[in-house]
Amino acid sequence: MGTFEELVAEGAAVPLEGWDFSWFEGRATEERPPWGYAGLIASRLAAVSSALDLQTGGGEVTASASVLPPLMAATESWPPNALVASKNLPLVVQAPDDGPLPFRSSSFDLVISRHPVVTPWREIGRVLRPGGTYFSQQIGAGTNSGLTDFMMGPQPVSEARGTERARAEAEAAGLEVLRLEPAALRVAFFDVGAVVHFLRKVLWTVPGFTVEGYRDRLRAMHEHIREHGEFVCTSTRFLVEARKP
């Protein structure tokens, strides 16, 4: 393990483009959800003629599927990510996360999204064809709240990302919820540099995070990891599948 200053500087220098977490190998771990999202979407992508990946990041997860449908479109709001995604997927459109979506109504058999910032349910319902499906792995309520609380002090947990909120909004958009499955997952950070990079990349964990603004708490994190070997918290995920009648 390097010094506090070395580790912080290293975590602060890692590029943020794309949604590839391979840099964390050996420095942090997150338990995987039991359902295997990448495999599930791969099988669904192979079975449809048109699909839309919302908030694709760098497009890495969707691009890992061995077969893509003849019409494979994606949206991404952050220009650096959109540039990466355009190298991985055939059609990437820069569009706001909360809509409107720049596609005609009833355009897609399948809409997918992995860890969307927001879920524009009504727009999803609009662009799905009758009988089409929305299939998504989402970040649940209170995810990594232990890390948030360590850095910021105790924070209230919003239910905006709760499963019941997702069900209500899907049904309000005219969709039938077929599957709604939550999971609690162990997360461990093994050095403070990994914490710095994570907080820069996953912005909603500590809103407004900067190294200088949180240097004292980062030093406390460094000492915690030196003493205990890791910092452990819990992330939450849920899988949601909804169909347009």
Per-residue pLDDT tens for 176-216? Answer: 999 999 999 999 999 999 999 999 999 999 999 999 999 99
Q: How sure is the predictor about 20, in pLDDT bands with cuts at 50, 70 and 90? A: confident
* Percent of all residues in the chain with a pLDDT value above 90, rounded to a whole number: 94
Topology of the domain covering 4-243? Rossmann fold (3.40.50)
Cα separation of 136 and 40, whole Å? 10
Q: How sure is the predictor about 36, in pLDDT bands with cuts at 50, 70 and 90? A: very high
Instruction: Write down the mean pLDDT value for the chain.
Output: 96
Per-residue pLDDT tens for 131-162? Answer: 999 999 999 999 999 999 999 999 999 888 99
pLDDT of residue 168: 98
Check: CB of residue 121 under 8 Å from CB of residue 101.
no
Per-residue pLDDT tens for 161-172? Answer: 999 999 999 999
pLDDT of residue 222: 98
Strand order in the sheet with 50-53: 28-30, 176-189, 231-243, 128-139, 108-114, 50-53, 71-76, 91-94
Q: How sure is the predictor about 105, in pLDDT bands with cuts at 50, 70 and 90? A: very high
pLDDT of residue 147: 98
Check: CB of residue 63 under 8 Å from CB of residue 88.
yes
pLDDT of residue 17: 81
pLDDT of residue 65: 98
Would the pLDDT of 18 be above 80? no
Chain centroid to CA 31: 14
Interval 77-103 mean pLDDT: 96
Vertex 20: Cα angle to 93 and 161 (nearest 5): 75
Cα separation of 242 and 175, whole Å? 6
